Structure 1
């Protein structure tokens, strides 16, 4: 096989986890790979932990990064192919690389690590014209293909490869019991306790994210949702204790996010839960949990379902018609549309230990389809000829 050169960049941590198995396989297959990052980003930390060499703008003599700079970097690298994730920030390396590759007539592929519905409903008007220019869009399954086509993408360019991170996730299933014990020991949570986790979506240290309706689509923000979750954990723990049981909360967020905004809410309510800020992904927190809750968090709740942990999306103001979480439509996660429904669920769990088992039985199992890494490699290879 002739030597081929890949320029790869991802901003989102979940996208980074999706491409890490590819980097290992492609290196073994003789590809030359340049991994480009913004220094200090979550993706840079993930690549560093995996021992993957990286470059940033300063390695090319540039103090800052914009589209002109990215075009100059690609001209210097002269790759056969560019691979990027999906990111909505204007300054993200993904978007800049995609735009530059199109302008330089370099084949470019985009990997979508989660179902595209939420992304397209929130950012479609702006993002679709850009991402439609990619030569290949690699998505989870045929359902994702249909969603992309309905939003105007060319079916011949959208490929149901699966997520390579799921190949690794399948290997985690046999270790969940050990991870559960380890994580609970770290958190000082009894092994018999019921743990209800909240997976954060936004960085509430960012002033732009603190408004009660920041989430926007349904007029209900993360700060308000987390407040309800904490109050329910506090009251549920008291209820459970009166019945001789233990109920605990666990908060998980991206390691690059700040904690002060969340801690402020906890101080106001005089209720604190363990914060998991591990930089190696959410699996430890998922293993420790009996139920996972989130406002959006599509990738994480999908992973939870694949690991057998039930998950609920708390979306007050939404309806089955406006709900764009594909996992809800598939029946592998449960939506809560009424304000106060999360609190009621947590209190019901505190009263009745069979609530979570009933919820688990009501959900469809999420199946991990192996072999995504090989399918992605096949599609990428076809773009180089």
Structure 2
């Protein structure tokens, strides 16, 4: 069971990286550039739209990558991807039968549906024999896929319950609230739960959104630093776009996140003091595409003071604090080591 869970989380983590990093890298920056791009406006708009479009393919890609982790054949992999897509909540249909695809879906339900689909295709395996190509995709869509679709409202409600817990924190005084929210989001970004989904579902805003952003940034920067020794530079940098790359490692050994959670607590408390703010649509991104700091600057205005605060809070302090706490937990307490952060792409 532990091996199954590990492979499932690895596939989910890689899927999130593949589908979300393109937009995280260029999305917010392009929004600033496009109005002033002149002759390049059409091209840059196409780039932005493409990066948004691939985000909605997350369930399919995630399902296929989960199949790869289990060393399944191409038909089985694609069947899992299709089932995950059906159970994801990415699409909606209006009364006229018009299907709209938007967002990334409910990540937890994608994982649950993919897990059911994986067990299903492994159960069928060679039983279908010559009928495999014809029946396996259809059966996987109609059984695991529709099961995922049926449980989607309940899983979505569970995600909202988590959001309601976070909104409760916003009713507390800003410093304590900022610390708790930053810690919560620093953990959520390492879990199957979408920080973006939670933030937008509960419409978290103001200092609460700013604290959430700093929590996500704390995990991203910390995991980037910690993962550098065990991985290549590109993989380490990818953590800045999505710390979910470490989802599997975090679930296998939660203490690898201790330095980042402590860093998040400090940054979150400071967010209440310095009034670091954000919006529901920026709260789950952190440093990805510089969404967090850019949105803060957009809300408070671009001036020397705000730029300095943004630089210190989103870049300087996360780096300094994570370096300190990673060293403490690695050298003094010996609770973590470099190999704990190894991201494996083997299948």
Q: Tell me the TM-score range normalised by the shorter chain.
A: under 0.3
Greater relative contact order (CA < 8 Å, ≥ 6 in sequence) = 2
Q: Give the structure with the larger strand fraction.
A: 1
**TM-score (ref. length: structure 1):** 0.25
**TM-score (ref. length: structure 2):** 0.27
Q: Give the structure with the larger helix fraction.
A: 2
